[in-house]
């Protein structure tokens, strides 16, 4: 049948050359068997239109070829979880760094332009993120195509006894929440210690700084921020809530709640330096924003303390029963 031959030839064009003949013979046998069965059922020879309708039902030749030889993905299924997690970490760090960079440039500008800050943040992030996405994808593609054994990524040594004691839906930690908390802690650490990431020349041009009364608390707050970073890194490895992890989170959030609400209670959080602020921006404006952020963050941490206390009580009641 001419239509069948044309259809098989079209399918073969989408196949690797070394597999065209074998798959073509197999496909031809399937099609001819189906057409012969239809002829026996009708008791007559099929018309060209009926043959065309049967072939049309099989689908586009490209789709049929893909059922025999599925396309090779850029990243293999074994590497896909690690690929996704790497992208999330890299993009989160890029966004954190871009926020810090844009904020510093905003304060160093001669004019206060909030829209310029927003556009710089958005376009700067996407510009760097596109490059990072390409690099990470190429690295994982090269590793996938190398043929190296990926079995080390799979948990072959797992034991049933090591499975987490998770019985409630909320005990599974969200990766997004963990990364957000981690990025927030790192962001606050970098804000408190600009000398870690700013050059001496850039530091000399800063226009605001913490009030002297608050600077004495920086080492103490930084200690708890470092503990929060370590806790979040631990929870990324073991992402589920237990009595221990809830207790640690309650303690950390309680400290942060007190710190943020204390920040809100201070009338002067930031003071100016010898370098003038951008036009249309005053130190009072910055203090109002800083105190507002302190109030919002303090209330949010207080909510998390209450939520985790309720969850801890649920786990304690379950243990007691």
Is residue 208 classed as helix, strand or coil in its secondary structure? strand
Q: Are residues 310 and 180 in the same domain?
A: yes
pLDDT tens for the chain, 321 residues long, are 678 888 888 888 888 888 888 888 888 888 888 888 888 887 888 888 888 888 888 888 888 888 888 877 778 777 888 888 888 888 888 887 888 777 777 666 655 566 777 888 888 889 999 999 999 999 888 887 776 666 655 555 667 766 777 778 888 888 788 888 888 888 888 888 888 877 788 778 788 888 888 888 999 999 999 999 999 989 888 888 989 999 999 999 999 999 999 999 998 988 888 888 777 778 888 899 899 999 999 999 999 999 999 999 998 887 776
Nearest to 254 by CA among 183, 201, 307: 307
Task: In whole angstroms, give the CA distance from residue 210 to residue 108.
Answer: 17
Residue 191 lies in a domain: yes
- The two most distant CA atoms of the chain are separated, in Å, by 99
The residue to which tokens 């929440």 are assigned: 177
Residue 9 lies in a domain: yes
Structure letter (DSSP) for residue 155: -
The tokens for 265 are 């209670």
Residues in the chain: 321
Q: Indicate the helix (H) or strand (E) that contains 63.
A: helix 61-68
Query: pTM to 2 decimals?
Result: 0.64
Task: In whole angstroms, give the CA distance from residue 86 to residue 94.
Answer: 12
- The model's pLDDT over 227-245, given as tens digits with 9 standing for 90+, comes to 999 999 898 888 889 899 9
Q: Which domain holds residue 84?
A: 72-145
Q: Are residues 241 and 258 in the same domain?
A: yes
Residue 296 lies in a domain: yes
Q: Are residues 199 and 317 in the same domain?
A: yes
The residue to which tokens 């605001």 are assigned: 208
How wide is the angle at C-alpha 82 spanned by C-alphas 80 and 86, nearest 5°?
A: 115
The share of the chain scoring above pLDDT 90, in percent, equals: 22
Q: Indicate the helix (H) or strand (E) that contains 124.
A: helix 114-145
Task: In whole angstroms, give the CA distance from residue 145 to residue 251.
Answer: 47
Q: Indicate the helix (H) or strand (E) that contains 133.
A: helix 114-145
Q: Which of 51, 68, 85 is the last residue of a domain?
A: 68
- Sign of the Cα pseudo-torsion (166, 168, 174, 180, in order): negative
The tokens for 158 are 């797992």
- The model's pLDDT over 10-69, given as tens digits with 9 standing for 90+, comes to 888 888 888 888 888 888 888 888 888 888 887 888 888 888 888 888 888 888 888 888
Q: Which of 68, 92, 113 is the last residue of a domain?
A: 68
140-141-142-145 Cα dihedral, nearest 10 degrees: 120
DSSP bridge partners of 210: 270
């Amino acid at each position: 049948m001419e239509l069948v031959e044309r259809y098989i030839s079209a399918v073969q064009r989408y196949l690797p050359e070394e597999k065209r003949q074998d798959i073509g013979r197999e496909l031809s046998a399937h099609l001819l068997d189906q057409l012969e069965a239809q002829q026996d059922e009708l008791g007559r020879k099929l018309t060209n239109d009926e043959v065309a309708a049967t072939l049309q039902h099989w689908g586009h030749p490209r789709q049929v070829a893909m059922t025999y030889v599925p396309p090779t993905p850029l990243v293999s299924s074994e590497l896909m979880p690690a690929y996704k997690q790497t992208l999330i970490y890299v993009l989160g760090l890029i966004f954190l760094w871009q926020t810090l960079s844009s904020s510093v440039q905003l304060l160093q500008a001669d004019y206060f332009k909030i829209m310029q800050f927003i556009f710089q943040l958005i376009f700067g992030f996407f510009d760097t993120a596109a490059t990072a996405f390409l690099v990470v994808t190429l690295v994982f593609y090269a590793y996938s195509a190398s043929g190296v054994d990926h079995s080390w990524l799979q948990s072959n040594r797992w034991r049933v006894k090591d499975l987490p004691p998770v019985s409630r839906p909320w005990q599974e930690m969200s990766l997004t929440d963990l990364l957000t908390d981690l990025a927030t802690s790192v962001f606050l650490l970098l804000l408190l210690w600009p000398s870690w990431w700013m050059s001496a020349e850039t530091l000399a041009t800063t226009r605001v700084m913490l009030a002297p009364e608050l600077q004495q608390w920086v080492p103490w707050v930084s200690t708890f921020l470092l503990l929060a970073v370590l806790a979040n890194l631990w929870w990324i490895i073991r992402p589920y809530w237990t009595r221990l992890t809830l207790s640690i989170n309650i303690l950390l959030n309680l400290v942060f709640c007190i710190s943020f609400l204390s920040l809100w209670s201070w009338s002067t959080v930031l003071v100016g330096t010898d370098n003038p602020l951008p036009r249309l921006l005053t130190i009072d404006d910055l203090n109002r924003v800083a105190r507002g952020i302190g109030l919002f963050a303090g209330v949010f941490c207080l909510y998390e303390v209450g939520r985790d206390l309720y969850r801890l009580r649920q786990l304690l009641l379950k243990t007691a029963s």
